[in-house]
Structure 1
């Protein structure tokens, strides 16, 4: 049976249908499950399941196990996924080089970033995207907003060609990571919190430690600004943190630019800004060896205004 399966894989011709099914499979693996991949694919879970069944029938292989125990790749599924990433990488490299030979960038560029970037006026990511399009109008730009740990893994496995994210320690040497700015994180609470009406001078570390704290899933549970916060909730996204704070139950850190409007309209209050503040460095990262020209062009569009500002 195994030799027959291998024969069918070897004889499989890759057309548009097979490529489409493989892209669905790659998205499922990237998001670690059928339901998690629905939003990015724009498909119902039933449609995704049908596509996967068709792919497995064409390959004569069981690629993954799904059910009450969760999503998990089979050994064959891991091999097919690795080959799929190689295939898509080769296709994109061909498209990129063809565009270069024709004197114009083309193909697609997958860019991953964390959330809450629109309100960062110092970064002006939307302006950089506009500049990138003017330089490379034929490149299809695909933007994915994801948690830092997802972006990091996606950069390693080729799901993203370029990422913008904090905390890039431990990145392998064959990737280039350039620090481009620091985001100021401050501590906030909302109406309903017992700290909302207490003057800053009366808020002690002990009082802060007694409050339910909303942390980040990618941050270790350790002292922040010298305080041992009582972690009671966690989320990878700034919007998730904001929702937790607006419940009136939790305190937590947010980028000052992202919290600004909620502070202005009286929904949030900054706590002890003189002590409860830290800088979160951000990096732009992409492969060091043979990066796509599109990735380099987007990186330059993001970095250049910041370099000019601080020159």
Structure 2
């Protein structure tokens, strides 16, 4: 016999184990972008996930997501709750790391955020740093998240990330920033663009300013290298910029190491590389006041790998 339940009022007071379990189901469902995809990672049936989500919505008195034939997507309230959940779990992970430090054993989870297009950077050798970290802390779970610089900056401030690799940003004094490398950004166009075969000597600021430009969503729309570009498309990631350039319709900036292979294949071309370029200063950022041993270990590994020959 099925017993009906009366709706629960909005959740108040301290979080219980039940709340944390429901929030983890919610977080993983969002990460997997839906109930079906989350079944394997959660070890639950779709029906069970649906019950958990409904229970969480009742406890919070908020509609978190829409699910059905139109797909899975968060409501505005769901986006706010999800952001708060990530901050909450980041705080829990920092606590677990601190406990591991006291116990003298590196266990728990380390959340590491970075921008995209890092794997091809020979100056950084991030893969070698991660390998070194894994060998020294085999019991740690390393969570790597690829995000835009503004997301990483906010995540460091809120505690969502314990350590981040990103372009230099202004930070509060409680964070420590270590300069790692300078990344050269060149202006490129793709095969099929009107400027692809244009000699560099003919490329003037006025001519470049007339081209459709693929900009970065986190950069101000101000002149770059003296050119006031037409911002006709924006993206937060290098892969997004690359797709726009390969369309043959836009010009835009990419890291030289990220574009190198396609330049060699003659599907990308650097435009006026002698003067159309700038450098981004990259830093490792983590807590100055209360860094965990795991965060210190990964930071040291990244610094040592970037200094190696």
TM over 0.5: same fold?
yes
The DSSP-based 3-state class of the residue aligned with 2:145 is: strand
Shift of 1:81: 7.0
Return closer, same or farther for 1:12/1:254 CA change in 2, 3 Å cut-off. Answer: closer
Return closer, same or farther for 1:156/1:71 CA change in 2, 3 Å cut-off. Answer: farther
Q: Is the 8 A contact 2:128 2:305 kept in 1?
A: no
Q: Name the counterpart of 2:305.
A: 305
Return closer, same or farther for 1:194/1:12 CA change in 2, 3 Å cut-off. Answer: closer
Shift of 1:202: 0.9
Q: Give the one of 30, 33, 36 matched to 1:38.
A: 33
Return closer, same or farther for 1:256/1:294 CA change in 2, 3 Å cut-off. Answer: same
Once the two structures are superposed, the pairs formed by residues 118-267 of structure 1 within 5 Å of their partners are: 118-169=119-170, 171-267=171-267
Q: Is the 8 A contact 1:22 1:84 kept in 2?
A: no
CA distance in 2, matches of 1:155, 1:60: 27
Q: Name the counterpart of 2:93.
A: 92
Return closer, same or farther for 1:115/1:217 CA change in 2, 3 Å cut-off. Answer: same
Return closer, same or farther for 1:165/1:49 CA change in 2, 3 Å cut-off. Answer: farther
- TM-score (ref. length: structure 2): 0.82
Q: Is the 8 A contact 2:263 2:269 kept in 1?
A: yes
Q: Is the 8 A contact 1:114 1:165 kept in 2?
A: yes
Q: Name the counterpart of 2:61.
A: 61
Return closer, same or farther for 1:21/1:189 CA change in 2, 3 Å cut-off. Answer: same
CA distance in 1, matches of 2:239, 2:125: 19
CA distance in 2, matches of 1:306, 1:290: 24
Shift of 1:98: 3.7
Q: Is the 8 A contact 1:26 1:81 kept in 2?
A: no
The DSSP-based 3-state class of the residue aligned with 1:187 is: strand
Bigger mean CA offset, 60-69 vs 175-184? 60-69
Return closer, same or farther for 1:233/1:106 CA change in 2, 3 Å cut-off. Answer: same
Shift of 1:173: 1.5
Return closer, same or farther for 1:282/1:102 CA change in 2, 3 Å cut-off. Answer: same
Q: Name the counterpart of 1:31.
A: none
Return closer, same or farther for 1:13/1:287 CA change in 2, 3 Å cut-off. Answer: same
Q: Give the one of 8, 11, 17 matched to 1:14.
A: 17
Shift of 1:63: 6.5
Structure 2 stretches of 5 or more lacking a match?
Answer: 1-7, 40-45
Q: Name the counterpart of 2:110.
A: 109
